[in-house]
Amino acid sequence: MKINWFPGHMKKALREIKENLSRCDVIIYVLDSRAPLSSVNPSLSRLASGKPILYVFNKIDLADETRVKEIAKDFKGERSDFVILNSTMSGASKMIRTKLLSLAKDKIEKAKAKGIKTVVRAIVVGVPNSGKSTLVNNLCGKAKTNVGNRPGVTKTTQWLSIGDNIELCDTPGTLYPNLENQDIAKNLLFVGSIKDDIVADIVELAEEFLKKADKNYHNLLVSRFGNELTIEAIAKKRGYILSKNELDETRTAFAILDDFRKGRIGRITLD
């Protein structure tokens, strides 16, 4: 199963991100906590070189918080910091603002010394379906961008004000032109950053998910699906039967992936 997905609007988005970066003081890099390392786009990281970065480990309500905290430690540096949150939760906006202003303190202090008030500009980047637009709407205090639990909802770059001294540039989710590491590509498919319909065999994808998740989250899978973790066994248990008593493996595969993405299996981090 060879996975690759780089629609035309992503190429345009990367170009627009590059153009807007020169106007920005801080980068808000949104990562999906279910696959945070796989959410790091090398194309974006290269463009971000030299800028202060706030990494937002989003969707923590669906992820293994202990594992995410271990991973997040490596994302804190002299010019970088992180927050771990669910972008819809109360207080998320305050956490982001505080960290954002801290990373931009050099600009703020220089402006203060000159007796002027400055505007901090931040650009929000991340892979598709990582929750960027939901986060932006939370920061704005109301819906300013379209959101949806699928990749590719945001297709254009837009500037938004989130107060009298902070402006945000919201960008479309972007991947990279060649997903050479297929383990990363599969993780992005599992969490919904890549559309399911690019996969020729959704049953094979669900089998791959069960195999991977079983390594660290066996008890969660058994609790949800039963002791036998195969497509056939799960289809029988759920009564997903076609005519002539054939198992509906396609329906079963989509159900397994949907259970993971909606958090019904439990809190799982694949990286």
Q: How far apart are CA 169 and CA 157, in angstroms?
A: 7
CA 114 to mean position of chain CA atoms: 39
Which helix (H) or strand (E) segment holds residue 123: the answer is strand 120-126
- What's at 199, amino acid-wise? V
pLDDT of residue 9: 59
Q: Lowest-pLDDT range, 27-31, 49-53, 76-80, 160-164?
A: 160-164
Q: What is the mean pLDDT of residues 33-46?
A: 85
Q: How far apart are CA 27 and CA 52, in angstroms?
A: 6
- The answer to whether 47 touches 15, Cβ cutoff 8 Å, is no
Residues forming beta bridges with residue 190, ordered by sequence position: none
Locate the domains of the chain by residue range: 8-170, 201-261
pLDDT at 234 over 50: yes
Which helix (H) or strand (E) segment holds residue 56: the answer is strand 53-58
Indicate if the alpha-carbon torsion angle 175, 178, 181, 182 is positive or negative: positive
Q: What is the pLDDT of residues 210-231, one digit of tens each?
A: 999 999 999 999 999 999 999 9
Q: How far apart are CA 102 and CA 150, in angstroms?
A: 32
What is the three-class DSSP state of 238? helix
15: which residues sit within 8 A by CB, 6+ positions away? none
Q: Which two tokens stand for residue 97?
A: 């603002």
| Angle formed at CA 255 by CA 59 and CA 201, multiple of 5 degrees | 105
- The answer to whether 204 touches 210, Cβ cutoff 8 Å, is no
Q: What is the dihedral of CA 84, 87, 91, 95, to 10 degrees?
A: 50
Residue (of 163, 124, 146) closest to 30 by Cα position: 124
pLDDT at 23 over 90: no
Q: How far apart are CA 139 and CA 163, in angstroms?
A: 9
Q: What is the pLDDT of residues 145-163, one digit of tens each?
A: 444 444 444 445 778 887 7
Residue (of 142, 123, 161, 101) closest to 18 by Cα position: 123
**Among the CATH numbers 1.10.260.40, 3.40.50.280, 3.40.50.300, 3.30.360.10, which is that of 8-170?**
3.40.50.300
User: Who wins on pLDDT, 43 or 105?
Assistant: 105
pLDDT at 177 over 70: no
pLDDT of residue 132: 87
